[in-house]
Structure 1
Amino acid sequence: MKPDEISAYSHPVKVSTLSASLTNLRLEADAQALEALARQWNVTEVRSLKADLQIARWKKDGVRVKGRVMADLVQECVVTLEPVESHIDEPVEATYVPDGSKLARALTVETAEMVVDPDGPDAPDIFVGDTIDIGQTVAEHAAMAIDPYPKKAGAAFPGHIESTEKDDKRPNPFAALKDWKKD
């Protein structure tokens, strides 16, 4: 999300109040946030957004968040435009570092080369001040799990025939010459 965009769901947490031991946090979006998320995600309806998280200090001045995000939403079928209900249940794992930390400086140096493992953990998010927005992280993880092409069970394009392997083969340009006889 761009820094100038406002998240439809927010739950600020003061970093200075966190301890090194795990803190359990259960979040649930209210009706107003659910409506704003539906608009932001461009879906028909968001019925629920919940998260069960564990938050703890990480290294010297960072924060680590782990848990699960669950959401129930309604989208339009890409074939019939009928409502399709979806359930999301995704793991959440995020790390935050303050903007003045060594890790934050390493991430913002433009001349440095960075090697990223696509299967490895994400790079830490940078926060300014003493507050992180856990709600925004929850909403982002849920948004990434939304099916971009929801299809109702049994929905099909009428009159549309899927191509077969035979249809996908390129025709031989010399096939017409095989029956041509020499005179």
Structure 2
Amino acid sequence: MAAPSDTPRDRLRLAALPTGGPTRFDLAPDAAARAALAERLDLIRLPKLRFTGALHPEGGGGWRLEAELGATVVQPCAVTLEPVTTRIDASVSRRYLAELEEPEAGSETEMPEDETLEPLPEIIDLAEVMAEALSLELPDYPRADSAAFEGRRAAPPGAAPMTDEETKPFAGLASLRDKLAGKE
């Protein structure tokens, strides 16, 4: 991988990259970096993490990042808080365009149809792209195989809790229709 001497290997200064072909990268953070990222993303552990791919020059001074993210994450179960291990394998794609402007802070902006588009930075921080991609792929509510959530029922003192059927507004109408149909 061609990396300028004034930036770390995971931060690529676009002006210094060759434009004749792709610039390949392969990030495999060490245990300390994985532990720091696990803490940042509220994970129990992050035993494996790898981010490999290439930056491809595009017309108009733009760049396209195509990569594969592989990770093993351990999160707390949403029901029991037991550790839940998940394997993540995902494709990551970003397009950095010179003519795309960064939205102003506090202003309302419409999201582009293509969510891979980003303004062209001076430096692409591959570790940050990897962290963002991982955070987007994490299960929102991981569940242990043994987790069972049967719901909760609550009612004021002296009242019976409502059943699921009673909360459906048309259930009563259906039974009324059936009664009326039988009487006719």
TM normalised by structure 1 equals 0.71
How many matched pairs? 157
CA deviations on 1:60-85 (whole Å, 9 max, x unpaired) are: 32221102111111111112211110
Matched residues, percent identical?
Answer: 25
CA distance in 1, matches of 2:163, 2:65: 47
For the 8 Å contact 2:103–2:109, the answer to whether it is kept is: no
For the 8 Å contact 2:49–2:70, the answer to whether it is kept is: yes
Match of 2:165 in 1: 166
Q: Which one of 128, 142, 145 corresponds to residue 136 of structure 1?
A: 128
1:1-183 to structure 2, matched below 5 A, reads: 11-20=10-19, 21-97=21-97, 101=98, 103-105=99-101, 107-108=102-103, 114=110, 116-117=112-113, 120-127=114-121, 130-157=122-149, 166-170=165-169, 171=172
**Superposition RMSD in Å:** 3.4
Which sections of structure 1, spanning at least 5 residues, go unmatched? 1-9, 179-183
For the 8 Å contact 2:62–2:120, the answer to whether it is kept is: no
- CA 1:134–1:113 in structure 2 vs 1: closer, same or farther (change >3 Å)? closer
Match of 1:7 in 2: none
For the 8 Å contact 1:26–1:52, the answer to whether it is kept is: yes
TM normalised by structure 2 equals 0.70
CA apart distance, 1:123: 2.3
Equivalent AA in structure 2 for residue 152 of structure 1: A
Equivalent AA in structure 1 for residue 12 of structure 2: V
Q: Aligned with 1:81: secondary structure? A: coil
CA apart distance, 1:164: 8.3
Equivalent AA in structure 1 for residue 74 of structure 2: V
CA distance in 2, matches of 1:164, 1:32: 50
Q: Which has the higher contact order (CA 8 A, sep 6+)?
A: 1
Q: Aligned with 1:94: secondary structure? A: strand
